[in-house]
Amino acid sequence: MAKSNDNEKELAKKGAPASKPPKAEKNAKAAKADKNKKPNIFVRMGRRLKETFSELKRVTWPTVPKALKATGVVLVIVLAFTVIVTCVNVGFTELLKLLTNPGA
């Protein structure tokens, strides 16, 4: 204890301030805690929506003919895969029937 008091006295003689008073430390901690605290959920959601709409303004949207062409391509591919999977399913079903009913 005596050493810390001596150090504070020496610092005071040199013109350096002593350690912060306890109240100032609490205020500094409270300010730091406020800085690290996240805003509430509604503020964050509002910011996110605002950012989303500003980003959508910068998007280059396709023309109607390009969108229809891409939709048609997707539908044709889905239809083709549906036919292929259905054929494979029917084939496996018939094969299973043959294997499970050997005498029929």
Please write the tens of the pLDDT for every residue from 27-48.
776 666 666 788 889 999 999 9
- Band (103; pLDDT cuts 50, 70, 90): confident
pLDDT of 15 > 70? The answer is no
Give the 3-state secondary structure of residue 102.
coil
Q: Where are the alpha helices (DSSP H) in 1-104?
A: 2-14, 22-36, 41-57, 64-100
For residue 33, tell me if it sits in a domain: yes
Within this chain, do residues 45 and 31 fall inside the same structural domain, yes or no? Answer: yes
pLDDT of 1 > 60? The answer is no
Report pLDDT digits (tens) over 36-95: 788 889 999 999 999 999 999 999 989 999 999 999 999 999 999 999 999 999 999 999
For residue 2, tell me if it sits in a domain: no
Q: How far apart are CA 92 and CA 98, in angstroms?
A: 10
Number of domains in the chain: 2
- pTM, two decimal places: 0.47
Place of tokens 């259905």: 86
Domain assignment of residue 54, given as a range: 18-59
